């Protein structure tokens, strides 16, 4: 039961993958993480990981999608069958689906905050407001389960409707309107930041590299962020890859996606920090950077309400073009496996994820600090769900790298990649060894107490595991290369 669907144009995969990649990760998470971790040093590690690990895995994941032309779970069942490898590799599909479902649940709640701020900005509510008013406004939003649920519901319905309309009429058409508009808005906001803010301070903050600024935690955050921002390891890219034209170049597309995604994060960072420094505010505000610090900067600047409104529309659009890529892999699976219609499949996925999202909603109010949940798990439901996705995404990326690196034959890969032998060798070395080692490192982030010796030990374990996996697969398929 292959999906047989292919994007209408050769370039649509690029558009869709960029849509998936560019999201809250670029506009909200990247700037605040860079702000908390000393700017330039964080960006250096982030960029290195994107190139050495992100791009190879991006190629691998797209390849698995296009080679199977099925949704991730069905696709991995197909590939394990045709390559005579263990069925355990189908876990790539299942873990991806689980991660997509978990990410969507909180992604939609946070995107909902942007809905609230779009409204506040466009109605001019915050114009001239002082720091205390804006901060207490954000706290009041988080304290209201009703408001949070309302925005969460609106956002997830909008995403569901687009995916429910199908990959051509819904996803493709939606992206074709949204993405160019987003780039224009981003440039408008950058121009505004340059005109009204302190661009020089922003540039020197982001591009002064001082590795000494970076803690181990900062390293791990940078690497985790590079996975999240490229939408890797959870089936979104694989699902989109299944619709990619056979003659579109995998490597070139992957480089383009990574380049645009990184460029958007940098431009957003420059724009946001220009405004933040221009208003004399603190870069290290954490998750509140976009929702407290930035609104304050807009409140003090000419036409701040209007440009602020436009900025939050950008955030919303970028978030929707990502959330649809979280729905697609699971919806496509339900259609293929249970013969549901697309609207039914989307409905099932969205309702379940919406319900789980209520846990994130109450994490900020009813079930914050002192609740039973907090006592049982030592953290809020939101933090727990985020932690789970921080484990599932790198793990998925690791398995994808190993499967593509060891199970696929050279001729198969060459046919997909259409590149030189030399680049193939580089890619395969990266997915066989470098990516697994890097992922081992990212995992440390999820271990609360990292002792010095754990780092090399876990790294070594994963590399040995990579070898073992590779050998078994090559033995099983008889396709040693």
Which residues contact ligand PHE (rule: CB under 6 A)? 20-21, 23-26, 103, 228-229, 231, 234, 236, 322, 325-326
CA distance 218 to 445: 9
Other Cβ atoms within 10 Å of 422 Cβ, number: 8
Nearer to ligand PHE, 62 or 479 (CB): 62
Nearer to ligand PHE, 102 or 458 (CB): 102
Count Cβ atoms within 10 A of the Cβ of residue 132 and give its class: 0-12 exposed, 13-18 middle, 19 or more buried: exposed
CA distance 122 to 323: 24
Nearer to ligand PHE, 85 or 390 (CB): 390
What secondary structure does DSSP assign to 339-351, as a single string?
---HHHHHHHHHH
Nearer to ligand PHE, 220 or 238 (CB): 238
CB 454 to ligand PHE: min, Å = 27
CA distance 450 to 358: 32
CA distance 275 to 471: 54
CA distance 100 to 11: 24
Q: Which residues contact 172 (CB under 8 A, 6 or more apart)?
A: 7, 8, 12, 15, 16
CB 230 to ligand PHE: min, Å = 6
Count Cβ atoms within 10 A of the Cβ of residue 449 and give its class: 0-12 exposed, 13-18 middle, 19 or more buried: exposed
Q: Is 143 helix (H, G, I), strand (E, B) or coil?
A: coil
Find the residue with minimal CB distance to ligand PHE.
25
Work out the angle at residue 381's Cα, subtended by the Cα atoms of residues 375 and 382, and round it to the nearest 5 degrees. 135
Nearer to ligand PHE, 72 or 278 (CB): 72
CB 256 to ligand PHE: min, Å = 15
Q: Is 126 helix (H, G, I), strand (E, B) or coil?
A: coil
Nearer to ligand PHE, 228 or 406 (CB): 228
**Residue 408 host element (H or E):** none
Residue length, the chain? 481
Nearer to ligand PHE, 25 or 39 (CB): 25
CA distance 240 to 7: 9
CB 160 to ligand PHE: min, Å = 15
CB 235 to ligand PHE: min, Å = 8
Quote the tokens at residue 426. Answer: 């580089």
CB 227 to ligand PHE: min, Å = 8
CB 171 to ligand PHE: min, Å = 13
CB 399 to ligand PHE: min, Å = 16
Nearer to ligand PHE, 197 or 317 (CB): 317
């Amino acid at each position: 039961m292959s999906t047989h669907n292919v994007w209408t144009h050769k370039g649509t995969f690029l558009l869709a993958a960029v849509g998936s990649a560019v999201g809250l990760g670029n506009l909200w998470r990247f700037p605040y993480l860079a702000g908390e971790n000393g700017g330039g040093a964080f960006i250096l590690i982030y960029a290195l990981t994107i190139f050495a690990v992100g791009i190879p895995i991006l190629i691998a994941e797209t390849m698995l999608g296009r080679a199977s032309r099925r949704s991730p779970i069905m696709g991995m069942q197909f590939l394990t069958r045709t390559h005579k490898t263990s069925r355990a590799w189908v876990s790539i599909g299942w873990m991806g689906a689980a991660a997509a479902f978990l990410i969507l649940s909180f992604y939609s709640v946070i995107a909902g905050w942007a809905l609230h701020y779009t409204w506040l900005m466009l109605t001019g509510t915050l114009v001239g407001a002082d720091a205390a008013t804006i901060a207490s406004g954000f706290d009041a939003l988080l304290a209201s389960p009703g408001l949070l649920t309302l925005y969460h519901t609106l956002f997830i319905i909008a995403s569901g409707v687009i995916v429910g309309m199908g990959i051509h009429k819904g996803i493709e058409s939606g992206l074709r309107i949204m993405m160019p508009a987003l780039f224009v808005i981003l440039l408008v906001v950058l121009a505004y930041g340059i005109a009204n803010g302190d661009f020089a301070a922003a540039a020197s903050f982001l591009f002064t590299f001082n590795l000494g600024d970076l803690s181990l935690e900062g390293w791990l955050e940078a690497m985790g962020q590079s996975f999240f921002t490229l939408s890797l390891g959870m089936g979104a890219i694989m699902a989109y890859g299944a619709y990619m034209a056979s003659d579109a170049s995998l490597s070139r597309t992957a480089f383009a996606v990574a380049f645009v995604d990184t460029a958007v994060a940098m431009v957003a960072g420059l724009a946001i920090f220009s405004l933040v420094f221009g208003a004399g505010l603190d870069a290290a505000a954490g998750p509140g950077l976009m929702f407290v610090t930035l609104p304050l900067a807009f409140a003090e600047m000419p036409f701040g309400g209007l440009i602020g409104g436009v900025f939050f529309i950008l955030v919303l659009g970028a978030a929707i073009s990502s959330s649809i890529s979280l729905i697609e892999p699971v919806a496509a699976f339900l259609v293929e496996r249970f013969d549901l219609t697309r609207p039914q499949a989307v409905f099932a996925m969205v309702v379940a994820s919406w319900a789980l999202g209520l846990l994130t909603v109450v994490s900020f109010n009813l079930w914050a600090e002192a609740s039973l949940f907090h006592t049982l798990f030592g953290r809020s439901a939101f933090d727990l769900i985020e932690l789970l996705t921080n484990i599932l995404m790198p793990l998925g990326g690791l398995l994808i790298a190993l499967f593509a690196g060891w199970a696929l034959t050279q001729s198969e890969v060459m046919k997909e990649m259409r590149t030189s032998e030399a680049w193939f060798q580089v890619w395969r070395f990266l997915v066989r060894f470098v990516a697994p080692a890097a992922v081992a490192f990212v995992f440390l982030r999820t271990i609360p107490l990292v002792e010095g010796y754990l780092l090399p030990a876990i790294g070594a374990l994963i590399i040995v595991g990579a070898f073992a996996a590779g050998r078994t697969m090559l033995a099983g398929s008889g396709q040693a290369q």
